Amino acid sequence: MTPSVTGTSPGDAPSPHEPLALYGAGFAADPHGHYRRLRAQGPLARVRIAPDIDATLVTDYHAAADLLRDTETFTKDPRAWQAGVPADSPVLPVLGHRPTALFTDGAVHARYRDAINDTLALIEPHLLRAEVVRVAQRLIAAFSATGTGDLIAQYARRLPLHVFTASFGVAPQDVERVVRGTAGMMDSGADATEAYDDLVAVVSALVHERRRRPGRDLTTYLLAHPAGLDDDEAVRQITLIMSVGHDPTTNLIGNALLRMLSDTGYGGSLHGGATTAREAVDDVLWRDPPLANLGAHFPRHDTEFHGVPLRAGQLVLVSFAAANTQSTPSVPKTAVRSGDGGHLAWSTGPHRCPAKPSALLMATTAIEELTSQLCDLRLAVEPGELVWRPGPFHRALAHLPVRFTPLDALVEADEAGARDGDDHVPIRVAGTPNG
């Protein structure tokens, strides 16, 4: 089987259209314009996701839902496709095979997924909420006296990170490396491989340390899980959780805050509380999902799917963003908005996100805490001037500059937080994966 690299690869079914580039500043500035053009080509369309890498993108809602559940026709194992992709390709940190839940099917997938699910189940919602509030207050206190801030760099990027690194027991001096690693691999630029390798190095050191000296953290629980993961498998599941967990949660917070700050529908109600935050989050999950295009699948054999011929092993991606925003007479919103939310922002089928409740709790709590403290937040630039990060897979603001009335009093909270010492670990004390 020949993999689907570049437009004329014999591994791909032919297409009369020049593939549209889904990377770089042009795509980042207007993804929905790109999705409209792609939809005009049918339910599946050819796209270019890096200078030398093409894929087929599913933009139709029903085709996307069918593909995500069709384990007979499609595999998640990318190795046949990957055989012809340059080893230093910037998309491999996200799409390249590793022994994780994301790249496996059937019993192997179930083993990894059980270990991940049982480990994430140790996160107690009320402890998680309390920890998010605590970290949020510290982060807000660090810039609240200035009257200006970047809600991505100073808030949305740092908050999930504190929770993840504390939960898994990452040493404070390695936290910045985790930020660079997860962001670098999702940006899929020239340094993506280096970023991913460094993230793996941090997590490997952590796993080796916890084998020797168990702690009270999720790394220790994952290593003790009955699935019996070896060191590399444990490293790869943790790296997966951090990469598909941290960056999308940052972007869910950032995209929802932008929605609240730029949409007149929210005007005057920024401090309105839970409903407003949840509404903005739900709106983003429909219209600008943090993982915009992923769900990589590969046909097990030559086939026809929703009228489009596909060759065995070619890369097929799902556009959660395009599928969610499709609006045609054949896909009335009432039909789409059914079941588990209806939108595909968490994917569906066996590889759907296992952390939806935790991610929603983190995002809504983070937004509520911020908007209740800095209640006259406003954008410091026009929405059209905002810069979005490049990369085909995510919908991610580079910065979110804001202004607000400075709050001197919160500086004291920051100092109290600093005295408070280490991050707390929002997991159950009793109850290990072993019972």
Query: x/- site string to ligand HEM, residues 1 to 30, per CB under 6 A?
Result: ------------------------------
Least Cβ distance, residue 295 to ligand HEM (angstroms) = 4
Q: Which helix (H) or strand (E) holds 293?
A: strand 293-299
Nearer CB in complex with ligand HEM: 359/413: 359
What binding mask, one character per residue, do residues 89-108 give for ligand HEM by CB under 6 A, x or -?
------------xx------
Tell me whether residue 143 or residue 388 sits nearer to ligand HEM (CB atom).
388
User: In which element (H, E) is residue 378 found?
Assistant: strand 378-379
Nearest to 434 by CA among 214, 109, 131: 214
Give 140 or 244: the residue with its C-beta nearer to ligand HEM: 244
Q: Are strands 44-50 and 20-21 parallel, antiparallel or unpaired?
A: parallel
> What part of residues 347-376 is at the interface with ligand HEM (CB under 6 A)?
347, 351, 353-355, 358-359
The residue whose two tokens read 């220790």 is: 220
Among 185, 244, 308, 367, binds ligand HEM (CB under 6 A): 244
One DSSP character per residue, 129-173 reads HHHHHHHHHHHHHHHTTTSEEETIIIIITHHHHHHHHHHHT--GG
Two tokens, residue 435: 């019972």
Q: Residue 189 or 349: which CB sits closer to ligand HEM?
A: 349
Decide whether 270 or 396 has the Cβ nearer to ligand HEM. Answer: 396
Residue 116: which H helix or E strand, with range?
Answer: helix 106-120
Does position 162 bind ligand HEM by CB under 6 A? no
Instruction: Check residue 425 for interaction with ligand HEM (CB under 6 A).
Output: no
268 C-beta neighbours (distance < 10 Å), count: 7
CB of residue 69 vs ligand HEM: minimum separation in angstroms? Answer: 12
- The rounded distance, in Å, linking the Cα atoms of 152 and 397 is 7
Instruction: Please identify, among the stretches 136-144, 178-186, 247-255, 332-340, the one whose residues bind ligand HEM according to the rule CB under 6 A.
Output: 247-255
Binding of residue 116 to ligand HEM (CB under 6 A): yes
User: How many helices and strands in the chain, by DSSP H and E?
Assistant: 17, 11
Dist. CA 175–CA 256, nearest whole Å:
25
Binding-site size, ligand HEM (CB under 6 A): 28
- Min CB(346)–ligand HEM separation in Å: 5
Nearer to ligand HEM, 62 or 69 (CB): 69
Rounded Cα gap, residues 99 and 417, in angstroms: 39
Binding site for ligand HEM (CB under 6 A): 101-102, 113, 116, 240-241, 244-245, 248-249, 252, 285, 289-291, 294-296, 320, 345-347, 351, 353-355, 358-359
